[in-house]
Structure formats: C-alpha cells, structure tokens
Amino acid sequence: VAEDGTRVFDLTMQRGTSDLGHGPDTQTWGVNGDYLGPTLRATRGENVRVNVRNEVGETSTLHWHGMHLPAAMDGGPHQSVEPGATWSPQWTIDQPAATLWYHPHLHGSTASHVYRGLAGLFLLDERDDPELPDEYGVDDVPVIVQDKKFDGTQLDEDGAIFANVGILGDEILVNGTPGAFLDVTTERVRLRLLNASNARIYNFSFDTGLPFDLIGTDGGLLESPVALRSLQLSPGERAEIVVEAPAGTRNVLRSTPPDLRADFWQTRFSGGDDSVDVLELRAADTLESNEPVPARLATLEDLGEPTVTRTFDLTSSTEINNRAMDMNRIDEVVVAGTTELWEVTNISGVVHNFHVHDVQFQVVEATGMPTDHPTLTGRKDTVYVPPGATVRLLMRFDDHTDPNVPYMYHCHLLRHEDDGMMGQFVVV
C-alpha cells in the first residue's frame, strides 16, 4: 500500500519452465513466476495501481476481466505493453465482491499468450460481505481449470484438426497442477471456479453425486444460494460454490459431456463428448466446523429499464454482425447514464459465447436455451450462446466516459476472438 493509500501490485510477465506432468522443461509463461500469476485482491472503494512489466520478449497486454474501470485502464488490445516496458493502470474498485481474473488481450495473440500461462485471479471484497468461508487456501480455494495438449515435453499449440474452436487438450491442470487434489480440513469449502481454458466448455459435477451450493457467478454473489449437482462453464466464466464433503470421503470434481446444444459433429469436435477429472477433494477424518451458507447473500443493484436495444449476430467464427474486428473502427457508441438491452443471436451453427467488458449484465431472456438455470440468475460478464439461441442482456453504463478509447465485446473462445470475432464500443 502506497503512502496515499493506493494498493500497488507489481507484476512481471515472464518466460520460464514448468513441470506440468511432462518433465521439468516445458516452456511456459507466467506472471511473477513460471506459470500463471499471483491472486490479486482488493476491497471495494480502494484505489489500485498495477505495474505491469513485460519480460516475455513480445508485445502483450494484461486485461482485468470483469472489472468496471476506465477504458484506458482495461488492458485491451489498445493498451499494448512493449517488451521491456512497464504499464501502470490505476483505478478505483467500484463494484460488488467477485471473482475476476486477468489475462493478455493482444489482438491476434490472446490465445497463445493465455495458453502459455499468462493468467491469474483478481478477487474483490466488500466490507460488509456475508459470513462465508473466506480463509484463502484453506476453505476458500481458487480452482483455475485449463486443458492442455502436449507434443512430447512441450505444450502443443495446434488447434484441433476438425473443430474450429481452437486448442482442446486432453490433460487438465488446476492452478497449473496436473492430477490435482485438495486436502479438505473444514466442513465446508468454497471453490472459486474459473474456466481459463482456450475453448473447452466444462460441465462440473462430483463423481459421488455430492450436491453443492452455487453462491456466485461472474459478477459476484447471488441473492441467495442455489443447491445444484452440476454446473456448466464456458471459457472466461466463473462460479463460486460451497461444498460439504463428508469427513473421510473422497469426491472427484469432474466434467461430463456439456450440453452444447449443437449438432452431432459440432458437439463432437467442440469437446462436447468428453469427460475429464478435474480435482479430487480429500476430506480429513475430522473436519473443523465453519459457518453454514446464509440464506441471503446479496442484493443485486437495480439496472433500470432499457432505452436502447442493440443486436449482435454471431455470424461465423470470425465475425460479429458480418464484420471482423477492426482496431480502427468503433462499432457501437453508448451514452453514459443509460440502460441497454443487447440481443445476441448465434446464427453460425458453431459453438460461441459472448463477453462484454466494463459491465456486469443480467440475462433477462433467452430463447433456444434454458433461461431458468441458476447460473443465469446472477450478474455475469460472459454467457454461453448455443447455436440457434438468442440471449437478451440487460446492462447499465454509468460512468468512465472516453470517446477515444474503446472497450471490447467478443466471443471468449480465444481462437475466435483472435480471428476477428470481436467488436469495439465507446462510452461517451
């Protein structure tokens, strides 16, 4: 913490070698280390500054996914950090407690930079958080899920041959660890799940059928917990769950075939038939007690009534509204102080999701997919949009106007994003 009260983080994007299950010499990238980066944490109302130093030898960026902040601080494709340079964005945390994350966003290179290991969590707290498991690493545990493909001892960056979704790996890392397990020492454990994979969609459940409480989505806590047995996350999405694993039991969090709502071949070549083990919970024979999940978690801010409707057709794997990303074209101009309805329709037949920078939206309606799913009741910044489906997203733009620097919206399957499935909006 600096003298003026600003919370300062020093991050260096660097190259290294890691043991990801194929010997110690796998070339990887990391933030302040060889693979992935530190968990950053700040409280609502705090001023933060991040000194981002680039030592990877290539231009990159670092984007704060899910953060409400000025566009010039967002770390998108316009805030590139040259090799050897340091970029120091600062902003005030002004949103509810949530599990956010950071990753590079250089146009055309996001997929490879994230795949090599540049990513980490950015946790936000609030002073009046409800009573929940919150001892980091003990009963409040990050679960960054990624799939990898290897060619000998090195990461294989080639995409799947028949699918156009990009890299689908057959080996799972949790927080950079293959074959991960967690020694559970408390009655309840809170897992902060992040799908930090390039393309894979997971459908999480426990092999034992253990139920869990969903307590939060991308943008923060739900109004009240929802008991579930399975939970689907597409790339970029997060969920917070609280699990009660009985003393002395082992329960494997795994992913079974997700419901992609795509046709036979799309499903098959987008990982829709795959099952993988993710994380084993090993509960001790005696567990320390911790608080049960409260019935009431949060009150969601009212987003108001929409006065503007925009439509976004996901027209291919390289275009939105029949246009590929152009760094020099502003696609949408939003006026601050308005609530908007964004209607996103996937007419491409291909598997996509949709992510919007700066805001947390509410899914108010969807056709062609179940709308009543608990994961859609919370605030989100990324949502799966199956082929043929339309989702209607309610979002409010309050502040951080800048006519010159755009925010992005895009598909978060990183190959699609790199290939042009992205657009730019300014808030004026």
Residues near ligand C2O, by CB under 6 A: 63, 65, 103, 105, 236, 355, 357, 408, 410, 412
Decide if residue 391 touches Cu ion (CB under 5 A): no
Nearer to ligand C2O, 379 or 410 (CB): 410
Least spacing, CB of residue 212 vs Cu ion, in Å: 26
Binding partner selected for residue 105 from ligand C2O, Cu ion, none, CB under the kind-specific 5 to 8 Å limit: ligand C2O
Decide if residue 190 touches Cu ion (CB under 5 A): no
Nearer to Cu ion, 214 or 413 (CB): 413
Decide if residue 78 touches Cu ion (CB under 5 A): no
Least spacing, CB of residue 198 vs ligand C2O, in Å: 11
Touching Cu ion, residues 355-384 (CB under 5 A): 357
Binding partner selected for residue 413 from Cu ion, ligand C2O, none, CB under the kind-specific 5 to 8 Å limit: Cu ion
HEC secondary structure over the chain: CCCCCCEEEEEEEEEEEECCCCCCCEEEEEECCCCECCCEEEECCCEEEEEEEEECCCCECCEEECCCCCHHHCCCCCCCECCCCEECCEEECCCCCEEEEEECCCCCCHHHHHHHCCCEEEEEECCCCCCCCCCECCCEEEEEEEEECEECCEECCCCCCCCCCCCCCCEEEECCEECCEEEEEECCEEEEEEECCCCCCEEEEECCCCCEEEEEECCEEEEEEEEECCEEECCCCEEEEEECCCCCCEEEEEECCCCCCCCHHHHHHCCCCCCEEEEEEEEEEEEECCCCCCCCCCCCCCCCCCCEEEEEEECCCCCECCECCCCCCCCEEECCCEEEEEEEEECCCCCEEEEECCCCEEEEEEECCCCCCHHHCCCECEEEECCCCEEEEEEEECCCCCCCCCEEEECCCHHHHHCCCEEEEEEC
Binding partner selected for residue 281 from Cu ion, ligand C2O, none, CB under the kind-specific 5 to 8 Å limit: none
- Residue sitting closest to ligand C2O (CB): 65
Using CB under 5 A, pick the residue from 42, 182, 243, 411 that binds Cu ion: 411
Using CB under 5 A, pick the residue from 261, 352, 392, 410 that binds Cu ion: 352
Least spacing, CB of residue 74 vs ligand C2O, in Å: 8
Binding partner selected for residue 13 from Cu ion, ligand C2O, none, CB under the kind-specific 5 to 8 Å limit: none
Decide if residue 65 touches Cu ion (CB under 5 A): yes
Decide if residue 416 touches Cu ion (CB under 5 A): yes
Binding partner selected for residue 174 from Cu ion, ligand C2O, none, CB under the kind-specific 5 to 8 Å limit: none
List interacting residues with Cu ion (CB under 5 A).
65, 352, 357, 411, 413, 416
